[in-house]
Amino acid sequence: MHISDSNANVTVSEVKGDLDVDNRFGSVRADAIHGSADVDSSNGSVTLNDVAGNVKIHTSFASAFVKNARGAVDIQNQNGAISVSGLAIACHPITLQTTFSSIKVSVPASGGYDLQAGHRSATSRRTSGDDDHPEHRLGG
């Protein structure tokens, strides 16, 4: 499914395949995606829940939230926070990049992940399961 929009919010659920969204000046929310999700957005938050495949988000000036992704996660953000949780136990690459905001990622305690996270002028935090341990801090 491909959606291109501007100056409006995009909300979808129960997508039977891959989702591709290009949106400006509005939020994007997608739930129950039975494939991969690729979102290019600016000036509106991105929230993806229950993605069966890979997640790729490119956004700016708003937050990006991903919960329950089963594949690789790649989020590139500028001036917006990133939060990733509920990842699958199977190990997939996670790449998170933002500027002037925070990164928070929770990985399963029993999973082994390749996590790449970077930020400028912000704080990052990695938690294992629901624990919040200072020794897991990525920066800040």
Model pLDDT for residues 34-63, shown as the tens digit of each residue:
999 999 999 999 999 999 999 999 999 999
Residues 56/39, Cβ–Cβ less than 8 Å: yes
Q: Which residues does the chain have with pLDDT short of 70?
A: 111-116, 119-140
With a CB cutoff of 8 Å and minimum separation 6, the contacts of 116 are 93, 94, 95, 96
* pTM assigned to the model: 0.82
95: tokens are 């790449």
Phi, then psi, of 135 in degrees rounded to 5: -70, -10
**Distance spanning both ends of the chain, measured CA to CA:** 39
